[in-house]
Chains A and B, each alone.
Chain A
Amino acid sequence: MITTANGHHDRRRLCVVGNGMVGHHFVKEALSRGLGKRFDITIIAEETDLAYDRVNLSKWFDGQKRDELMLVQPGEYEQAGVTVFRGEGVVAVEREARCVRTAGGHVVAYDKLVLATGSSPFVPDIAGRDSEGCFVYRTLENLAAIRGAALLATTGAVIGGGLLGLEAANALRSLGLKTHVVEMAPRLMALQLDDTGAAMLRAKVEDLGLTVHLGTTTREVVADGSGRVRALRFADGRELEVDLVVFSAGIRPRDELARAAGLALGERGGIVIDASCATSDPDIFAIGECAAFEGRTYGLVAPGYRMAETAADVLAGGSRRLTSFDSSTKLKLLGVEVGSFGDAFARAPGAKVISLYDGGTGVYKKLVLSPDKKRLLGGMLMGDTSSYASLVSYAQAGSSLPDHPEHLLLPDAASGIAPRFGADMLPEEAAVCSCHNVDKRTICGAIREHQLTALDEVKACTKAGTGCGSCVTLVAELLGRELKRAGIVVTGHLCEHFAYSRQELFHLTRLHGIRSFEALLQKHGRGQGCEICQPAVASILASTWNEHVLDANHVGQQDTNDRFLANIQRDGTYSVVPRVAAGEVTPDQLIALGSVAKKYGLYTKITGGQRVDMFGARLEQLPAIWRDLGAAGFESGHAYGKALRTVKSCVGTTWCRYGVQDSVGFAVRIENRYKGVRSPHKLKGAVSGCARECAEAQSKDFGIIATDKGYNLYVCGNGGMKPQHAVLLAADLDQDTLIRYLDRFLMFYIRTADRLQRTASWLNHLEGGIDYLKGVIVRDALGIGAELEADMAVVIGAYQCEWKATLADPHKLKAFRNFVNSEDQDPSIVFVKERAQHRPASWPEKRALFDDRRIRLPIVTTV
């Protein structure tokens, strides 16, 4: 029986075999070109998972959730009317009958067929390769199997020291295995790196504890009596004892269906396609790793995406054709930045090579130039790939280089040579984003036409930078240039008074031990300051030294609420929030809160952070209210500060029958540790006692979820206007380790975020994202872990209840008078009853009262 999507036989049928990254990209491109209206589209996917981000597969080992790797939104295909068979591969293409047969016995008819079958890992034909404990590294299922086996293993070996092999090795290492890399070639990443680069990479890889065996051929996988891996035997007769093996010795195109169907294949495999992606059968297209274009196959996602777009365009009647591909690669592997592009090995006749080698910092850069040194043919970058995107664009566009190209190897500051090698000099047709094939003209045009001002907008509008992300800095540079051209100021300057960013001011403050706004202004600023820089600097000072914010040299710079240690409301009265750590409160404390509220006539409400907010306090009442609250044992809750607010908790093992850890106890400990810590914006935390997540920890700046082995730490979540889920930073931690990571995380955020930037936005703008953050916090990749902890210890050590200190200081108390020349109250503050309490009177209500009470109205001049 012939199946079609909707049973409409008059419509044409498009069948897509394979739902990897390229297959999915094709379907999206086809739908965006309206092919869904002309074709019944059917996808046949061999894996049970629909398309996922295979490039970032290894992130699954770092705790990235399966869902986050998925490229297909639930229901996305169904809503578009696309039929999907998953978990059953195609077993035959019948060109005569124009149909394909699936492993599940389905027959799907086609008018046009697209093969996106990808590739399979190559496993060398050696004895014992099927032993238990041997794996390949390609699919989520493979990874799950490896993780399962790693639980019982102690030593792992990866056969293959290429890009994927090293990634697999890193995965084994992160699973706690002693890890070996076995490579036949005399160097690592032989396709991308030369001897110098590879030697540097090897040194770095070995620093991480991996053992590298080069020039070593594996002859046999030796199994024990029960068929389980015991060792590897090499060509020289040596044996290496291992109990887990991953084969990563290259990939082979999946061209077996095409072969059986009689389609033309390339000499070295792959389905031959022309520039329109058509195979030797004009109704069959091939795209991605299974396709051979101009005699070779490509194992990278960018060429696959180009093919997907081309095939979709051709099917829609467009004229798009493939052009030659470049195997440019940029990645961060085991913490090392590596980039390689164009003719990196200087194979072109007469090519000139210039290079820079800095063994001290681990930087190696090599440029391959045309014989006349006028054009860039290719290059290799290690340790510092910041110039990668502009170099690649340059090489691809083939434009003339400036004189003295050797200066291109040096950091900008060191060369001091103008013009700079960057966005400005790129030709208009230069491809900036190779993943989505977006050139400079398109990006700059979109910025001008749609008046884009933020990087996120440019990414959303042009797709540039949304693939591998390697071009994001270049896109940002183009944006900056366009904005500058349009006269929009994009300096990172805080305001007119400081020609520095917040991060730079933080650094200056710390470096020079600056302790007041006045001193910073004298030394690094100009003018008198404003409502931007004063609170920003006040926050920096508080985050560094934690002196009392109402000290005479700080008070004038405090933002509205800090200035009076309370939250100003719409009528100019204040609300008061005492700290109730983790929301745990005794009956006596509740009674005390009620008594204070009653005594001063305050409106009360429970906050989202599990405490009590008391509204309607007049400025001059605040000290008396706090004297009473202090007597009842309460401390300031810092609800007024850009500071730690609350650490919310569920009841955990204290009472809950499901709790697996003492979430309340831990939340109390954390809240009391960080209380009074000021930061670029407010900070909220939560601790949930089990996976049910009743404390909503994943919506917090830092959220902790108890597991039966300890605690998982999530960071950079946000509720509010733009909700964002927190991301897992580390799993199954004990309390002390978690607190150490939190110290580092919070202080790193405090040091590097922009003013008023919440952690979620900070992470979104952090180059390298969560991986980078994990590197800094968990692996201490920058070597600043101890320093961050020490800085946090200083701030924590300087904690004082700000209200207690204020009540003890007559100078500070002087500010809490409504009038400098009278003990009168502000007569304009009026409440009206509402529900069982009261609220501020509206302006018309007040006006009526003013007339009645003969209160003098303000003088307001309208022009």
Chain B
Amino acid sequence: MNLQTVSLREPRTNWADVCALEDILAGTGVSAIVDGEQIALVKTRNGELHAVSNFDPFSKTFVIARGIVGDRAGVPKIASPIYKQNFNLVTGECFDDTSVRLHVYAVRVAAGRIQVLRSNERCQA
């Protein structure tokens, strides 16, 4: 797949409120939608939060958040529920095919709420 990254509007750097911290069980993910972008929001077993694109580039479905969360040699990862490719939750890189990378979103907790940094990029196929 050859997707080109195109900036369509002015960058926005504000944080989007998504859900309460306890809305995610440790060791699982949920999907969220922010400005029409589907995001996989993941809480690892030891409580770290990560946000990556919910789009699985291998199956071309929005399902990453439904994958199994774990680690490889200490690096947090999530496995696609469809064909089981593993993605590094920190960098978005696919362990099984390093030419593929999920977009990574900045994430933070404020007053018990999880916030994701709005993306300023859009991608068109």
Contact = CB atoms under 8 A, between A and B. Distances in A.
Contact of B32 (A531, A560, A821, A843): A821
Contact of B123 (A563, A570, A859): A859
A488 B99 CA distance: 26
Given A496-B73, A858-B37, A862-B2, A529 B45 contact: yes
Interface stretch (A549-557, A661-669, A724-732, A783-791): A549-557
Nearest to A846: B60
A820 B36 CA distance: 14
A556 B19 CA distance: 19
A555 B62 CA distance: 20
Interface in A543-583: 552, 555-557, 559-560, 563-564, 568, 570-572
B66 A862 contact: no
A490 interface: no
Contacts of A847: 125
A176 B8 CA distance: 86
B46 interface: yes
A376 to B, nearest CB: 46
B78 to A, nearest CB: 9
Given A568-B81, A861-B92, A528 B53 contact: no
Given A821-B33, A828-B62, A855-B36, A531 B82 contact: no
Nearest to A532: B70
B13 to A, nearest CB: 16
B50 interface: no
Contact of B70 (A528, A856, A858, A862): A528
A529 B71 contact: yes
Contacts of B26: 556
A419 interface: no
Nearest to A552: B25
A857 B27 contact: no
A759 interface: no
B37 A528 contact: no
Interface string A808-848: 00000010001111101010100000000000000100110
Contacts, number: 154
A821 B18 contact: yes
A151 interface: no
Contacts of A721: none
B101 A858 contact: no
Given A556-B27, A819-B32, A822-B33, A528 B46 contact: yes
Nearest to B70: A530
B56 to A, nearest CB: 8
A564 B31 CA distance: 14
A622 to B, nearest CB: 13
Contact of B99 (A559, A856, A863): A863
A556 B26 CA distance: 8
Contact of B19 (A528, A820, A859): A820
Contact of B28 (A497, A556, A855, A858): A556
A818 B103 CA distance: 20
Contact of B63 (A533, A568, A821, A824): A568
B49 interface: no
Given A820-B32, A820-B41, A570 B27 contact: no
B107 interface: no
Contacts of A568: 63, 66, 81-82
B14 interface: no
Contacts of B74: 527
Interface string A496-521: 11000000000000000000001000
Contacts of B79: 530-531
Contacts of B24: 820
A756 to B, nearest CB: 12
A571 B79 CA distance: 17
B31 A818 contact: yes
A554 to B, nearest CB: 10
Contacts of A413: none
22 contacts: A527-B74, A528-B45, A528-B69, A529-B45, A529-B71, A530-B70, A531-B67, A555-B25, A556-B69, A568-B81, A568-B82, A572-B59, A572-B82, A820-B18, A822-B32, A824-B33, A828-B38, A828-B61, A846-B60, A857-B122, A862-B3, A862-B99
Nearest first, the 8 closest Cβ-Cβ pairs linking A and B are: A858-B55, A856-B36, A556-B27, A572-B61, A530-B70, A560-B81, A859-B103, A531-B79
